[in-house]
């Protein structure tokens, strides 16, 4: 290959695309008229371009299919995410409604008319200037005999509680009653009576008419013992139920 062929070889791509100078084009024309090898090289450039164009035409349908598949995947992904979010939202809404109707609204009536646990800022003469809430879910108050305590559950919590506890007045027994639901509608009373120095004490679950609950879960011996204990302490149990229903008439 001559020196001029090498020069023409470098110019052929520009010559083929028509972007070389007029002087270069004329030189390449004159050389191609005399050089078979360079004409073949120009032909190879034409063939490569035609082949490349043909390949592009061949893969156009494949590119279209790939684009369609990719678009379909994106749509499916978006649809999947949307469905998942909708299911999560429905479940969350259902749980929230259940909590509100079965937990929150069950305990809020017990605290009605009472202030949440607070500390009070007093004036110099002892009057309350303002109350600073330190626990908005817990309410407590008392009279001469009993302490009343209500815990309204926080969001999605099942930690609610309504309870009456006897204030220590020097007597020989400690009594306590907690109120809960039975079958989501009925109110039951969980009563504990502990005689000082007697150890375990006595525990009953009764309704407002002093009917025992939960007996099916105990053995015959346990049932008989609980019935005997209730008969023995019926006056104390009735007193606790009467105190609870007097404080919260809606639980009768």
The answer to the question of residue 227 being in a domain is yes
The answer to the question of residue 103 being in a domain is no
Q: What is the per-residue pLDDT across 176-211, written as a single tens digit (0 to 9) for each?
A: 899 987 766 678 899 888 876 666 678 888 988 888
Residues 31 and 128 in one domain: no
* Predicted model pTM: 0.58
The answer to the question of residue 64 being in a domain is yes
Residues 239 and 122 in one domain: yes
Residues 212 and 148 in one domain: yes
73: left (phi over 0), alpha (psi -120 to 50) or beta: alpha
Helices (H), the chain: 3-17, 22-34, 36-99, 105-111, 220-232, 234-247
End position of a domain, from candidates 46, 70, 89 = 89
Q: Are 120 and 131 in contact (CB under 8 A)?
A: yes
Residues 121 and 77 in one domain: no
Residues 144 and 232 in one domain: yes
pLDDT of residue 247: 92
Q: Measured between alpha carbons, how far is 108 from 229 in angstroms, rounded to an integer?
A: 33
Residues 72 and 186 in one domain: no
Q: What is the largest CA-CA distance in the chain?
A: 131
Residues 135 and 85 in one domain: no
Residues 166 and 225 in one domain: yes
In the predicted model, residues of the chain with pLDDT beneath 50 are 50-51, 53-54
């Amino acid at each position: 290959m001559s020196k001029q062929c090498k020069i023409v070889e470098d110019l052929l791509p520009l010559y083929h695309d028509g972007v070389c100078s007029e002087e270069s084009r004329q030189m390449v024309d004159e050389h191609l008229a005399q050089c078979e090898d360079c004409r073949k090289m120009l032909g190879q450039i034409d063939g490569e371009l035609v082949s490349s164009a043909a390949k592009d035409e061949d893969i156009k349908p494949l590119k279209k299919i790939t684009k369609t598949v990719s678009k379909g995947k994106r749509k499916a992904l978006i649809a999947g995410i949307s469905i998942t979010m909708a299911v999560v939202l429905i479940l969350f809404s259902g749980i929230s409604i259940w909590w509100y109707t079965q937990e929150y609204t069950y305990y809020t009536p017990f605290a009605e008319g009472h202030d949440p646990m607070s500390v009070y800022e007093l004036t110099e003469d002892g009057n309350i200037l303002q109350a600073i809430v330190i626990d908005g879910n817990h309410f407590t108050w008392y009279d001469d005999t009993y302490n009343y305590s209500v815990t309204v559950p926080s969001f999605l919590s099942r930690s609610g509680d309504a309870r009456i506890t006897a204030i220590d007045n020097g007597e020989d027994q400690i009594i306590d009653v907690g109120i809960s639901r039975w079958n989501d509608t009925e109110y039951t009373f969980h009563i504990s009576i502990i005689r000082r120095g007697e150890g375990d004490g006595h525990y009953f679950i009764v309704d407002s008419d002093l009917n025992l609950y939960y007996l099916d879960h105990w053995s015959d011996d346990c049932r008989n013992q609980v019935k005997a204990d209730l008969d023995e302490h019926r006056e104390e149990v009735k007193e606790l139920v009467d105190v609870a229903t007097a404080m919260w008439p809606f639980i009768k």
